[in-house]
Amino acid sequence: MQEAGQIKHQLIAHLTGGEAFVPIKELLKFIPYELLDKRPGNLPYSLYEVFYHIWFTQKDIIDYCMSKDYKLPTWPIDYWPLKAAPQDENSWKAMQDQYFTDRKEFSEYIENPGSDLLKPLPNGKEHNLLREILLVTEHTAYHSGQLVVILRELGVYE
């Protein structure tokens, strides 16, 4: 049982970032509100659009793992925002807060001794918690790289 706890702890460390990619929490410090809607160069997305996608996808995967009432969102329309920027600064801050609240709840769910990494999930018998943790981690890592590129193109990150 101690090994399972160690594995879960390491998975949460990867989920949080900093093991192989810049943590989202660090990247958000470099994102000025007034640049959220900018799509530099030929990039097809803004800082806001990419973060929204990270946030929504994480939320969807967490719901898939934890919710008894899970409903599959429509791809791709639900996973990307309709606009290149948030409605206002308050909604931008609220989305960030929700992202970290969701991740904390997911981490607590993972750490729970009753959470089995390999048992099939109720919402998808072919998937287990380990797969979903890796999926969130890989997805976040991939798109955090896009945030770095946009920030560099905008001249606010080295």
The domains of the chain are located at: 2-153
The two tokens of residue 83 are: 């606009």
> Predicted confidence band at 51 (pLDDT cuts at 50, 70, 90)?
very high
For the segment 21-48, what is each residue's pLDDT rounded down to a tens digit? 999 999 999 999 999 999 999 999 999 9
Q: Which residue has the tokens 């946030």?
A: 55
Q: What is the pTM of this model?
A: 0.96
50, 24 Cβ separation under 8 angstroms: no
Output the pLDDT for position 2: 79
For the segment 52-98, what is each residue's pLDDT rounded down to a tens digit? 999 999 999 999 999 999 999 999 999 999 999 999 999 999 999 99
Task: Write the CA distances from 86 to 2, 32, 60, 83, 110, integer angstroms.
Answer: 44, 13, 19, 7, 31
Q: Which CATH class is domain 2-153?
A: mainly alpha
CA-nearest of 41, 42, 73, 62 to 139 is 62
> Predicted confidence band at 1 (pLDDT cuts at 50, 70, 90)?
low
- Interhelix angle 47-66/89-111, nearest 10 degrees: 30
For the segment 108-141, what is each residue's pLDDT rounded down to a tens digit? 999 999 999 999 999 988 999 999 999 999 999 9
Please name the amino acid found at residue 80.
Answer: W
The two tokens of residue 75 are: 């791809």
For the segment 5-16, what is each residue's pLDDT rounded down to a tens digit? 999 999 999 999
Output the pLDDT for position 18: 85
